[in-house]
Structure 1
């Protein structure tokens, strides 16, 4: 008696059909996502006056909600940008601030790739732990931070001069960099208000490179701290917090 034909007797055909349907569904979803992104890019600037250029639009963990990145800021919008949310997105199950985690990832810089030759270097103790700081000589918070940094033990500090606060900052930065003892000139000014000697002769500085690096990596203010585990902190933090982060970075 001849055997009847059945789809069960042709598993390769069944698998191929399933793969085709899955691929088709994926293409449809991708097309919808692209359409949503285009709608957000078009509608959001029209509805929010003076909105800076949108850098990236991606799906958020919430269906129908998109993450909109503008520089170093994040907004959330629905598919047509009729509704916009400004603030943190929290995973209530894990109590994770997803917005903060995303910003940390976006702003991470590989410490080993920092142009350390363009930094002033000083150390306490063994210097085993590493910290990079972007600082302006006229920044009050930078001066407070520098006082706290002196309390740290066994640390090497790389200071990148970024004269963001105007021509006087640029002049001081040049004189500090061109000093015979850069670290002494820097700490003398920041800790004791000893004005660095004016440097009259030609001296090549990394100031333009430092400013370009800052713009590229969204260092929008000073101080900014970079740790050896590739994390960073915008703004001054207390010595105890720096110590905790240094220890964690050193262990990792």
Structure 2
């Protein structure tokens, strides 16, 4: 977590270094014209007279007067490079230090030095694919699974998730694995559980489907990616 804090501090210092009297003036104009809009940061874009804005999780481009806004990607066609994508990815990172690990099913593979935060539904076919094909091939990773039943799609998923949670903590990982890979369902039980809180958390993080994964540095990877892609993605968090 110290690495994450250092990275956030570096990003903050970098943003401050990019500020100029010109961009400060544009920012002041924007805040005056649009007082209900949150402008996180601003910098000059490669296009003369156009400024790149970070607005929460959105990236936009505007003129000096803030009259016109463009949403989308700015491409450098000579380099064949999407200049907006890295900024958009950075804006969509989450602070994983705030994730409630006490509410997760924890599985450790190998030394477990890499961290993977997973939102998953026990009846989701793509989650089952992830559990049976990709995750068994990973090594040196601690997987924190947050049960995220999608009630509208899988009416029985919440009851199955609750049954898993009602088991002793040390048994939940194996039970989750058996449920998703073999269809072995534990006895249905009811107990106090974090499912409602996790539903609110997932929604606040922008989880729109399952499986959805987050890396240690807050990057998001939605869908049932294969093992090679997940492995490379996890290494990118270092």
TM-score, normalization by structure 2:
0.71
- Does residue 20 of structure 2 align to residue 35 of structure 1? no
Structure-2 residue corresponding to 1:152: 138
Match of 1:184 in 2: 174
Q: Which runs of 5+ in 2 are unaligned?
A: 1-19
The correspondence of residues 61-140 of structure 1 with structure 2, limited to 5 A, is 61=45, 62=47, 63-67=49-53, 69=55, 72-78=57-63, 79-81=66-68, 85-91=70-76, 96-140=81-125
CA distance in structure 2 between the aligned counterparts of 1:107 and 1:66, rounded to whole angstroms: 16
| Structure 1 residue ranges without an equivalent (≥5) | 1-24, 43-52
Q: Measured at CA, do residues 246 and 32 of structure 1 come closer, stay the same or move farther in structure 2, by a change above 3 Å? A: closer
Matched length? 209
Aligned pair in 2 of structure 1 residues 173, 110: CA closer, same or farther (>3 Å)? same
* Native 8 Å contact 2:23 2:42 kept in 1: no
RMSD in angstroms over aligned alpha carbons?
3.1
Deviation at 1:187, TM superposition (A): 1.1
Which residue of the partner structure matches residue 48 of structure 1?
A: none
Match of 1:213 among 201, 216, 221: 201
Offset of 1:241 from its aligned partner?
Answer: 1.0
User: What TM-score comes out, normalization by structure 1 length?
Assistant: 0.68
**1:156-198, CA deviations, whole angstroms, 9 ceiling, x for partnerless residues?**
2110112234353322221221134211221122111223321
1:173 is the counterpart of 2:161: yes
Contact kept, 8 Å, 1:132 with 1:157, in 2: the verdict is yes
